[in-house]
Amino acid sequence: MKENWFENIERYLHKEMTTDELEAFEKEVAANEELASLLSVYKTVDTEMVYTETDKQKEEALKESLQKLNAVYFTGEKKESADIGPAPVRRMGSRRWLNYAVAAALLLFIAGYYYFNQSTPEQLAKKYIASNLTQLSQTMDGSRDSLQLGIAAYNNKDYNKAIAMFSGVYTAHPDNIYAKKYTGLTYLMMEDYTHALNSFSELAAIKGLYSNPGMFLQAVTLLQRGGQSDRSNAKQLLERVVHDKQEGYRDAEEWLKKWKD
């Protein structure tokens, strides 16, 4: 599949093509069965994928759209009405199956794209935690000092033990920024947001660090807690992270693009 197909389909549907580009694209669609199939799937998704306000409704809308598309593109028959059951599967040649497989892959990509772009900052913060903060790296080649024992406890979700280890290290070595960061992360996992915010605030206040995630992690924690003023405070922190190019600023930029007050 040509690399510019996706971009061209997007521009075509949003009427962003020049007259010459439009003419050339429609000629290519007419001559290329695979491209025509992909365009048809994309147009259907673009029409059907209508999200409502709640996450549950978004999921139901996504499921309904995928079911409709499955009936249209992968059973060999179109549904004439909601009362008609799934059509029987027809045999297809290998070339046609390849076209439909490519269309299915595009469908899944678009569905994921739509869902991601409908995510709220709170959902993005939750995804960030799940993807980046549930496990800590063992960075000292298996050394069994207190920090490493704390990391092992954290990764095993023994958060009480992890807190004891990290707090002990930081008390004995206040210059150990990892102990402070990991203490905050452990409190975050325990949903003790007040102590997590205190730890990340202290981390953010440390000067002279080449990379300091303290302010970004404060914003993540506020979005997780979801108090009355937490959202607006989180936005202010993310804006500062972006302005100062602090650690996490790329994620902060993306989250701010999706912000709806």
Instruction: Give me the mean pLDDT over the 15-28 stretch.
Output: 82
Give the 3-state secondary structure of residue 201. helix
Portion of the chain with pLDDT greater than 70, in percent:
66
Integer angstrom CA distances of residue 138 from 101, 158, 173, 176, 248: 41, 16, 19, 16, 21
Instruction: Give me the mean pLDDT over the 17-25 stretch.
Output: 82
Integer angstrom CA distances of residue 104 from 9, 36, 69, 186, 261: 16, 13, 9, 41, 35
The greatest distance separating any two alpha carbons of the chain, rounded to the nearest whole angstrom, comes to 73
Using an 8 Å Cβ cutoff, are 160 and 206 in contact? no
What per-residue confidence (pLDDT) applies to 19?
82
Task: For the chain, give the number of residues.
Answer: 261
Predicted confidence band of residue 220 (pLDDT cuts 50, 70, 90): very high
What residue type is 15 in one-letter code? K
For the stretch 114-134, pLDDT in tens is 555 557 888 889 999 998 999
Q: Measure the CA–CA gap between 117 and 45, rounded to whole angstroms.
A: 14
For the stretch 171-216, pLDDT in tens is 998 888 999 999 999 999 999 999 999 999 999 998 888 889 999 9
pTM value is: 0.57
What residue type is 83 in one-letter code? D
Of the listed ranges 4-13, 81-90, 147-156, the one predicted with least confidence: 81-90
Q: Does 210 or 108 have the greater pLDDT score?
A: 210
Q: Measure the CA–CA gap between 101 and 210, rounded to whole angstroms.
A: 47
- Only one residue has tokens 């076209």, namely 99
How is residue 175 annotated by DSSP?
Answer: T
Q: Retrieve residue 176's tokens.
A: 């150990």
How is residue 256 annotated by DSSP?
Answer: H
Q: Measure the CA–CA gap between 32 and 234, rounded to whole angstroms.
A: 49
What per-residue confidence (pLDDT) applies to 58?
56
Q: Retrieve residue 167's tokens.
A: 């707090």
Portion of the chain with pLDDT greater than 90, in percent:
39
Of the listed ranges 4-13, 98-107, 229-238, 246-255, the one predicted with least confidence: 98-107
CATH topology classification for 126-257: 1.25.40
Q: Measure the CA–CA gap between 62 and 67, rounded to whole angstroms.
A: 9
Integer angstrom CA distances of residue 63 from 36, 46, 117, 216: 24, 14, 17, 34
Instruction: Give me the mean pLDDT over the 210-232 stretch.
Output: 94
Q: Retrieve residue 211's tokens.
A: 């990379």
What per-residue confidence (pLDDT) applies to 45?
58
Residue extents of the structural domains in the chain: 5-118, 126-257
Q: Most confidently modeled of 75-79, 127-131, 186-190, 223-227?
A: 186-190
